[in-house]
Amino acid sequence: MGLGRGGSCFYALFEALALSLCQELPVRQAAALLRCSDKQLWRRIEHYVGAPASSTTCLR
């Protein structure tokens, strides 16, 4: 079983864990816990959300 995207159950579960951590913690702190770069996490977030975080605005 590989760790790539090709249907790997482990990869899918790890990615779900990473994204869940990013909901609860700052991305930099989640990256430190996962021992990866925050840039890698931002790419995953952008992949699933569909838009770069820097282009979103919050107007109220």
| 21 within a domain of the structure (yes/no) | yes
Domain that includes residue 37, residue range = 10-51
Q: Which residue has the higher pLDDT, 55 or 23?
A: 23
- State how many domains the chain has: 1
| 16 within a domain of the structure (yes/no) | yes
| 60 within a domain of the structure (yes/no) | no
| 59 within a domain of the structure (yes/no) | no
Q: Is the pLDDT of residue 54 over 60?
A: no
The H or E element containing residue 58 is none
pLDDT value for 48: 85
What is the pTM (predicted TM-score) of this model?
0.67
Is residue 32 a contact partner of residue 25, using CB atoms and an 8 Å limit? no
pLDDT tens digits along 2-53:
445 556 788 888 889 999 999 999 999 999 999 999 999 999 999 888 765 5
Report how far apart, in Å, the C-alpha atoms of 49 and of each of 16, 19, 46 are. Answer: 13, 11, 5
